[in-house]
Every structure is written in C-alpha cells, then in structure tokens.
Structure 1
Amino acid sequence: MAEDVKSRRRYSSAVRAEQAAATRLAVLGAARELFTQHGYAATSIAAIAQRAGVAVDTVYAAAGRKPALLRELVETSLSGSDQTVPAEQRDYVVRVRAASSAREKIAIYAAAVAEIGVRMAPVHRALAEASVADADCAALRAEISTRRADNMRLFAADLRATGELRGDLPDDEVADIVWSMNAAEYRALLVGERGWSAERFGSWLADAWTRLLLEG
C-alpha cells in the first residue's frame, strides 16, 4: 500500500512538472510572437497571458516580469533549446573545440552563428528596443555583449593553439574581429537589409574569417 502511494505521488509530481514545462513554453512562445509583432513596450503581460491561454498570475509564476521573459527568450534562442545552456556545453562549441584545424573550427562556428541568428534576430530587436527605457533590459544587453567578447577570447585562444593564426594579430584583436562580425547588428545589414540568406551569411563569415585571420 505504501509503495502504491509513493508511486502515485511520483506520477502526480511528474505530471505537474510536465504541465509546468508546457505552460512555460506556451508563455515564452506567446511573448516571442508579441514582442516580434508589436514590440516590447507595446506588449503587456495581460496580452501575453491571453495569447498563451493562461492567467496573468501564471505568466509571472512561469517566467516572471517582462525583463525576465526577455532574458529567457535570449537564453533559449542562444541555446537552441527550451532551457538555458552554458556556452561551453552547447553542441557547436563542443564540436569547435574537438576540431583539429583552424579552418574546421571557423567553419563550424560560422555555421552556428548563422543558425543562431535566425532564432535570435527578432529577440535582439526586442532587446534593443527595450534597452532604451528599461534598465534591466539595458543591463541584459550589456551582459550579452560582454559574454560574447569573453567567449571570443576563448575562441581566439583555441584557434591560436592550432598554429594557423596570423602571427601579426594578437588574440585580443582576433577576438574583437570575430565579436564585431558575429553581432546581430552586422547580420542585420547583410541578411535584414541586403536580403542575404542565413546560409550565404554563414559561408561569408567562414570565408572572411579564414582570409582575415589565418596564415596563407
């Protein structure tokens, strides 16, 4: 009897966890759609709740206030999953570090930047808008920029270890070059304004970085 009670409790707990996860995804999906369609400032928590089919209190419980919602959208867009994944654990980072040549590392990373950009572009536009008037969102935008810069220093060091980087470029300069060209603003010029496809953009990055950064 006691074991049956424990089993029912475990089952009930698992069902609640699944329901909570589904609710969170619905809220994030609704927030993404509304931020993209109407902008951050014009989107209310009530509108997000209505789009997600939940109560306003449920939105707060699932993801928090609008700045917290936007942070969740940023993190999940970067990870490509429904959860935050630290940079060093992301699949493409693991593959970059496992690659033996600088050209292969660059090709893997450029393709990942192009793929992430598809998910990240509308979220970045919402974040840029929100940063103008919301201090929490401005801090998030600065944090993301700093994280990218730190990660690019690691990438530069990883490339340097192959022995293929140009000797006249210090690692900090390599990192700054990659950091500037993987930015959402740079992508917006070529993909958003000039109509490049994500695939063309990724191929361009790989070619440009190979020509700019490597010997020969």
Structure 2
Amino acid sequence: MTIKNRGRRADYAEATRAAIIDAARTLFAEQGYFATRVEQIATKARVAEGTVYVAGGKQGLLHLLIEEWARSPVRQDSIDRLAELEDPEDILRLLAASTKQVRQTHGDIMRILLATAPHDQVAADGLAASTARYQATLALVAKRLHDVGHLRADITVRRATDVLWFYFGYTGFFTLIDNGWTLDDAETWLREQCERALIAAPPH
C-alpha cells in the first residue's frame, strides 16, 4: 500500500469516527443516553452497526464525549488570564464569559452527563472528575478575589467558592436559558448578582 493510500485510509477512518461521535452526541442530547440505540447512531452516522461497536459502543462514545469536554482549552486559558487581573469586575467578567463559552461548546455534554450519571457508572465517574476540575477553577477565582483585596470582609475564600458555584455551577445558566433567557443576558445577570454577593463596596 502506498503512503498516499494509507493517508487516505487514515483520513477516512478519522472522518468515520468523527461522524459516529457527532451522531451519538446529537442523539444522546435529543432523546437521552438510555433511549438511544446503537442502530440509531449507525443510521445517523451512515455506517454499519458493527462500526459503532468498533468505535466503542454507547459507553465508549459517552467516554469520548467526556474526554472532549475535559480537553477544552477554555479552563486553562481562563486560569492563565486570571493571574493578570487585579480588578474584581474584570475577574468576574472573565469567569462569566468563560462559563458562557463552555455552555456554548459543551453544554449539551454537561446535560447528558447530569441526566445519565445517576444510573450509569461511566457517566457518574466522568461527571465527578469534571465537577472536581470545575470547582477547583472556581476556588482559584475566589482566591484571586481575596488576594487582590476585594472580597467582602465577612466572606472567606471557601464561602466565596460556594457562592461562585451557586451562580456559575451547572444550574445557573441552564435554569435561565431553559426559561427563555439568552446566553448573553444570563451571563450579564449572573455576573452582576455575583458581584453584589461577593465584592466589597469601595470606601467612601
């Protein structure tokens, strides 16, 4: 086999894999993980059922979606930018914008895991790991607000982390969006409420 033919086969295999993952992601989001059948994934991806099993089957595909969310560069980019910020409004603006971006790119995966985790160990483990990363990022934001001297005097870093989770955890954006808010409106409102809850008023 020539190098060109090997390259074409590799490209075809990658395109097929991507089509299967996209099909599974769409179907899991639309009708739920448990209601989705392998034959439906195969039909949507335009491949044989056996090819879906080669790609890992339903659980393997769910794991790939978990990994895709974990590889998102948004978290590390935000952490890198966080260290440069001194103004509390800029810090919370970065957090709100980053949270919205993740909802845009991986919100469907979040919803899939939240719905599936109570009844599936792969989903439960993936959600637990993702939540730990998520909360660790919020803890860094809380510590940064403390370090630049802008947390209210009665709020510890731990309490600030909990408040950030209340506003920017899984439910905040989803609750507002599910009630008809735009992502932009949700971002602005959540940030403003968080500022009121956490940030010390400037001295008179």
- Aligned partner of 2:37 in structure 1 is 44
Tell me the CA shift for residue 197 of structure 1: 0.6
> CA 1:15–1:211 in structure 2 vs 1: closer, same or farther (change >3 Å)?
farther
Give the superposed CA RMSD.
Answer: 2.5
> CA 1:157–1:21 in structure 2 vs 1: closer, same or farther (change >3 Å)?
farther
Secondary structure in 2 matching 1:165: coil
For the residues of structure 1 that align with 2:48 and 2:78, how far apart are their CA atoms?
37
Tell me the CA shift for residue 12 of structure 1: 5.0
Q: Percent same amino acid at aligned positions?
A: 29
- Aligned partner of 1:30 in structure 2 is 23
Which one-letter code corresponds to 1:207 in the other structure?
A: E
Determine whether 1:177 maps to 2:170.
no
- Aligned partner of 2:109 in structure 1 is 123
Question: Does the 8 A contact of 2:66 with 2:126 survive in 1?
Answer: no
Spell out, residue by residue over 1:14-53, the C-alpha distance to the aligned partner (whole angstroms, 9 max, x if none). Answer: 5444334322321121012111222111112222122112
- Aligned partner of 2:118 in structure 1 is 132
> CA 1:190–1:167 in structure 2 vs 1: closer, same or farther (change >3 Å)?
same
Gaps of 5+ in 1: none
For the residues of structure 1 that align with 2:75 and 2:181, how far apart are their CA atoms?
29
Question: Does the 8 A contact of 1:97 with 1:105 survive in 2?
Answer: no
The residue correspondences of 1:44-193 to structure 2 (distance < 5 A) are 44-62=37-55, 64-76=56-68, 78=69, 84-85=71-72, 88-89=75-76, 91-192=77-178
For the residues of structure 1 that align with 2:75 and 2:66, how far apart are their CA atoms?
17
> CA 1:198–1:87 in structure 2 vs 1: closer, same or farther (change >3 Å)?
closer
- Aligned partner of 1:215 in structure 2 is 200
Gaps of 5+ in 2: none
Which one-letter code corresponds to 1:158 in the other structure?
A: R
> TM-score scaled by structure 1?
0.79
Question: Does the 8 A contact of 2:173 with 2:187 survive in 1?
Answer: no
Question: Would you say how many aligned residue pairs link Structure 1 and Structure 2?
Answer: 201
For the residues of structure 1 that align with 2:53 and 2:89, how far apart are their CA atoms?
45
